[in-house]
Amino acid sequence: MALTLGLAACGNGGTEAQSSDGGASDTPAASTVKIGFMGDLTGANAGIVIPPWNGANLVVDEYNKTNPATKIELVKYDSQGDASKAVALAQQAIKNDKVVGLIGPAFSGESAQVAPVLEEAGIPSITASATNTKLAENGWKFWHRVLPNDSVQGPGIADFIAGAAGAKNVFVIDDKSEYGKPLADAVRGQLGTKGVKLTNDSLDPAESDFSSVVNKVVAAKPDAIFFGGYYAAGGNLLKQLRDKGVKDAKFFSGDGSLDKGLIDGAGAQNAEGALVGCPCYIATPDVTDPKVKNFADSYKAKFNADPAIYASEGYDAATVFVEAVKAGNTTTDKINEFIKTVDLAGVSKQVKFGDNGEVVAKDIYIYQVKGGAITLLGKATEAKLG
Amino acid sequence: MLNDFINQFWPATIDGLAFGSIYALIALGYTMVYGVLRLINFAHSEVFMIGTFGAMFVPFVFGISSPLTGIALAGVILLMVVAGMLASAGTAVALERIAYRPLRKRGASRLAALISAIGASIFLQELFALLVIPNVFNRPQQGRIQMGLPRLMERTELFSIFGHSVRVDQVLVIVAAVGMMIALDALVNRTKIGRGIRATAQDPEAAVLMGVDINKIVRMTFLIGGGMAGVAGALYLISYENTYYYIGFLFGIKAFTAAVLGGIGNLRGALVGGVVLGLVENYGAIFAGSDWKHVISFSILVLVLMFRPTGILGESLQQARA
């Protein structure tokens, strides 16, 4: 990660040097607008925020290289996922840095606190990863998100479990968290409409022994298991399930478990074949779409890593701001109006926002662990199990 | 409901016994220190945490990444247990020397020692998250993220009870824990050091008059209690294959509960308390959801204390007779 930040810092330094050169030779009125990026960039969950930060950097650097009249400076706000820090940083962004837009905040908790502050100041924001459904129900005019929310994800995964995976007897486990419980409940609700036999349990993710859950699974003999929760508990749960002889039941989870940590926690052998749904689109090295391929290649060239979770959403969120500035909008109100009407082909999806700030495209993607790595299987509505 | 209970009774029993054994080993540390000093050593949870990392150090240094068998496996497990004991016992003795003895010498209240314990506990957690895990275990920026242990021992079935398999790792935990308990019981009841511990527990002043070196006895108490937590740490790590800087918290609370449940200050009570707690948690989870585990176990604790305020076995260390 130090390397990534170093690269980013280098990029910014180069940009400034260029802008002063450009100012001397080109139009003297070359100006810069600031776009913020807020999220957990150094804390415990930085692994899912650094990829969108990289993605955003990629767009902005590409744009600045074209030597435009108005350059964009991407300003980093490291909230560490802490809502109180995030609010203080948002005020700093508004009052001192005078940003004209914000990418983020990355998580739902901090978004709920920061969005009202931005709303009052009239700063448009696009989050690339906060998926809590309730965020869109506040009537905020300046808030947007570039991926579907949890109420889309749960039913999408449930349809896949009952459809392509053909499961008739499903065991649904949640971690009782603000994220895991609603997601698992959405899966339960949707599976209930499909005539699938359901068994439920919850676990405490702070614990390390899930044997009581595992024993219930063994007794229920399900052909699929869904876990609503984060990868740390998910990995341990999956390992203990396989150790107890639950070998044939397919293991499903949601975006909170879409991390290599799931494989590390369960062990590569136990995690093999595990399926994870996500409203996010991860460009895997084998993509064919030229736009996505181009994104994946330049990402890899710049950051020496394949695009990871939310990288393409971060790229798309930044693209919207870049296009807004490109079209001559440099004030917060004008940029917000631009966002309301934008309709462009992004890397992750067609980017178009509804009145409530939600992106119109509602695709859920299914990923599968193969050979110790997370690979894209396809859209939940189309993916087939091999 | 009853059908669920019948179906899951044996697996729940085996898991409960295995996990309860780990609780019991940790509970010994609480109970011994309480018996001798009338002090709840709340930093004992971190003694356990450090034990898991001490045990983790062995496979980390040898770079083991695939399951072992035979002599190599036995050797590594033994080394892990020893490393866990050394790390934990060392921590416990250092705690006593730095966090408790200065207070005790100045005749500070027990409340002051309690605050000191909580402070030491937070200090040790942060020390591991910020310095030890990133540097010693070469995990920069990952001090707070769970660290996994590669599989050392294949999960083979040893035998089965009514069609429910009992795995070799579960048997290892139970047998090792019971073995340690028997050894400790003999140590306290049969040896000179054990007599010193019992004497100090009964009446520290009279023990001094009889020529017992109290500081040495207190140090030994922390050493033995810490060593047991180290064994628990190694056994936990071998069977659950993960640990992190905060793992002591829940284990500490549960083990303390086990100690109180069995009768704090009573060594055999720690065993009984640990096993009862482990079983009750697992049986309770069959009826309610697994997330109700904690509610059920603490309700049982309250019920037991209402009718037997001194815990299940009640009798404490000072009344034990050789």
Task: State the ipTM, two decimals.
Answer: 0.88
Other beta carbons within 10 angstroms of residue B22's beta carbon come to 29
Half-sphere exposure of residue B195, counting CA atoms within 13 Å on the CB side? 8
Mean pLDDT of chain A: 88
Which residue carries 């209240």 as its tokens?
B109
pLDDT score for A17: 39
- The pLDDT of residue A288 is 81
- A18 and A85 in a single domain? The answer is yes
Predicted confidence at residue B315, as pLDDT, reads 60
A359 domain-assigned: no
User: How many residues are there in chain A?
Assistant: 386
Q: Do A232 and B286 touch (CB under 8 A)?
A: no
A117 and A260 in a common domain: no
CA distance B190 to chain A (A): 36
Task: Judge whether A151 is closer than 8 Å to chain B, CB to CB.
Answer: no
Clarify whether residues A107 and A143 are in a common domain. yes
Domain count, chain B: 1
The residues that bridge with A379 in the sheet, in sequence order, are A365
Residue B248's pLDDT band (boundaries 50, 70, 90)?
very high
Give the position of tokens 């005790």: B104
Q: Where are the beta strands (DSSP E) in chain B?
A: 147-148, 157-161, 164-167, 242-243
Determine, yes or no, domain membership for A357: no
B282 CB neighbours in chain A (<8 A) are 211-212, 215
Q: Are A214 and A246 in contact (CB under 8 A)?
A: yes
With respect to residue A113, please indicate whether it lies within any of the assigned structural domains.
yes
The answer to whether the Cα torsion of A120, A126, A128, A133 is positive or negative is positive
The pLDDT value recorded for residue B155 is 87
Tokens (6 digits) for A249: 């039941």
Identify the pLDDT of residue B317: 56
pLDDT at B319: 57
Is A360 inside any structural domain? no
Which pLDDT band holds residue A30 (cuts at 50, 70, 90)?
Answer: low
How many helices and strands in chain B, by DSSP H and E? 13, 4
Domain membership of residue A386 (yes or no) is no
Q: Measure Cα distances from A53 to A8, A37, A46, B29, B305 in Å.
A: 10, 7, 10, 47, 54
CATH number at residue A245: 3.40.50.2300
Mutation target vs B (from A82, A202, A215, A260; most B CBs, 10 A cutoff): A215
Q: What is the mean pLDDT of residues A347-361?
A: 94
Look at residue B321 in the predicted model and tell me its pLDDT. 44
Cα dihedral B36, B37, B42, B44 in deg (nearest 10): -40
What whole-number distance in Å separates Cα of residue B226 and Cα of residue B236? 15
User: Could you tell me the residue range of the domain that residue A198 belongs to?
Assistant: 151-278+365-379
Q: How confident is the model at residue A18 (pLDDT cuts 50, 70, 90)?
A: very low
Nearest Cβ partner for B145 among A44, A176, A211 = A44
Query: Residue A346 is encoded by which pair of tokens?
Result: 């992004």
Please answer whether residues A345 and A294 qualify as being in contact, where contact means their C-beta atoms are separated by less than 8 angstroms.
Answer: no
Q: Give the C-alpha distances (Å, rounded to integers) separating B221 from A200, A260, B44, B253, B320.
A: 45, 43, 12, 20, 16
DSSP H or E segment with residue A82: none
Local structure of A118: helix, strand or coil: helix
Question: Is B290's CB within 8 Å of A216's CB?
Answer: yes
Question: Tens digit of pLDDT for each residue in B263-316?
Answer: 988 889 999 999 999 999 999 888 888 888 888 888 888 888 888 888 888 765
Tell me: the pLDDT tens digits for A219-264?
999 999 999 998 889 999 999 999 999 999 999 999 889 888 899 8
Position B140 scores a pLDDT of 81
What is the CATH classification number for the domain harbouring B197? 1.10.3470
Q: Does B278 touch chain A (CB under 8 A)?
A: no
Question: How much is the mean pLDDT over chain B?
Answer: 91
Q: Domain limits at B137?
A: 2-319
Which residue is associated with the tokens 């136990």? A270
Instruction: Compare CB distances from B250 to A207, A211, A265 and report the shortest one's residue.
Output: A207
For residue A226, give the amino acid letter. F
For chain B, give the percent of residues with pLDDT over 70.
Answer: 97
Query: Is A212 within 8 Å of B15 when comparing Cβ atoms?
Result: yes
Nearest to A212 among B145, B146, B290 (CB): B290
Helices B214-240 & B2-37 angle (0-180, nearest 10): 160
B101 CB within 8 Å of a chain A CB: no
Residues in B touching A213 (Cβ below 8 Å): 285, 290
Which member of A202, A216, A261 has the closest CB to residue B291? Answer: A202
Q: Which residue has the higher pLDDT, B66 or A45?
A: B66
Residue A183 has, within 13 A of its CA and on its CB side, a CA count of: 32
Q: Are A277 and A252 in contact (CB under 8 A)?
A: yes
Interval A38-54 mean pLDDT: 87
pLDDT of residue A185 exceeding 50: yes
Compute the distance between CA of residue A131 and CA of residue A161 in angstroms, rounded to an integer.
21
pLDDT at residue number A215 = 93
Of residues B321 and A153, more confidence is placed in A153
Alpha-carbon distances, residue B37 vs A238, B32, B202, B216, B229 (angstroms): 43, 8, 10, 13, 18
Which pLDDT band holds residue B84 (cuts at 50, 70, 90)? Answer: very high
Chain centroid offset of residue B287 CA: 27
A204 Cβ under 8 Å from any chain B Cβ: yes
pLDDT 10s digits, B134-145: 999 988 877 888
- For residue A278, the SS3 value is strand
Whether residue A219 lies inside any domain: the answer is: yes
Interface membership of B291 toward A (CB under 8 Å): yes
Residue A268 and residue A162 in one domain: yes
Q: Which residues of chain A neighbour B4 with C-beta distances below 8 Å?
A: 216, 219
At A126-177, the pLDDT tens digits run 999 998 889 999 999 999 999 999 889 999 999 999 999 999 999 999 998 8
Least confident of A18-32, A107-121, B14-28, B236-250: A18-32
H-helix or E-strand spanning residue B241: none
Sign of the dihedral through C-alpha A314, A320, A323, A328: negative
Chain A interface includes B12 (CB < 8 A):
yes
Give the pLDDT confidence of A69-106 residue by residue, as tens digits. Answer: 999 999 999 998 889 999 999 999 999 999 999 998 99
In angstroms, the CA B138 to CA A130 distance is 32
Q: What is the pLDDT of residues A104-134, one digit of tens each?
A: 899 988 999 999 999 999 999 999 999 888 9
Q: Does B70 have pLDDT greater than 80? A: yes
Q: Which residues in B lie closer than 8 A to residue A176 (C-beta atoms)?
A: 291
Confidence (pLDDT) at A13: 38
Whether residue A126 contacts residue A320, with contact meaning beta carbons closer than 8 Å, is answered with yes
B contact test, residue of A42, A172, A203, A209 with most B CBs within 10 A: A209
Chain centroid to Cα A267, Å, comes to 24
Name the 3-class secondary structure at B3: helix
Q: Say if A8 falls within a structural domain.
A: yes
Q: Does residue A27 or residue A282 have the better pLDDT? A: A282
Shortest distance between the Cα of A259 and any Cα of chain B, in A, equals: 13
Confidence band for A23, pLDDT divided at 50, 70 and 90: very low
For B160-174, what is the mean pLDDT?
Answer: 89
User: Are residues A33 and A133 located together in one domain of the fold?
Assistant: yes
Whether residues B291 and A204 touch (CB distance < 8 A) is answered with: yes
Measured between CA atoms, how close is B137 to chain A, in angstroms? Answer: 16
Residues A203 and A331 in one domain: no
In this structure, is residue A23 part of a structural domain? yes
Which CA distances in Å does A304 have to A4, A7, A336? 9, 10, 34
Number of domains in chain A: 2
For residue B301, give Cα distances in angstroms to A79, A373, B34, B307. Answer: 41, 45, 18, 10
CA B147 from chain centre, in angstroms, equals: 20
What's residue B241's pLDDT? 92
Considering only the beta carbons, identify the residue of A200, A202, A208 that sits closest to B240. A208
Cβ-based contacts of A44 with chain B (< 8 Å) = 144-145
Distance from CA of B94 to the nearest CA of A (A): 28
Q: Which of B255, B207, B224, B201 is nearest to B93 (CA)?
A: B224
- A262-291 average pLDDT score: 89
Q: Are both A213 and A308 inside the same structural domain?
A: no
A269 with A293, same domain? no
Does B318 reach chain A within 8 Å, measured CB to CB?
no
Domain check: are A82 and A162 in the same one?
no
Instruction: Say if B229 is an interface residue toward chain A (CB within 8 Å).
Output: no
Question: Could you tell me if A250 and A374 lie in one domain?
Answer: yes
**Which whole-number Å values give the CA distances from A106 to A36, A84, A197, B116, B208, in the listed order?**
12, 14, 36, 38, 63
pLDDT at position A286 is: 73
Interface check for A221 against chain B (CB to CB < 8 A): the answer is no
Quote the pLDDT of residue A10: 40
For residue A5, is pLDDT > 70?
no
**Mean pLDDT in residue range A58-66:** 95
| pLDDT of A218 over the 70 cut | yes
Q: How far is CA B56 from the centre of its chain?
A: 16
Q: Which of A82, A172, A211, A217 best tests the B interface by mutation, with the highest count of B CBs <10 A?
A: A211
Find the farthest-apart pair of alpha carbons in chain B and give their distance in angstroms, rounded.
Answer: 62
Residue numbers in B near A1 (CB within 8 A)? 141
- Smallest Cα–Cα separation from B268: which of B234, B217, B302, B319? B319
DSSP assignment of A359-383: BS----EEEEEETTEEEEEEETTT-
d(CA A322, CA A74): 11
| Percent of chain A with pLDDT strictly greater than 90 | 71
Confidence of residue A352 (pLDDT cuts 50, 70, 90): very high
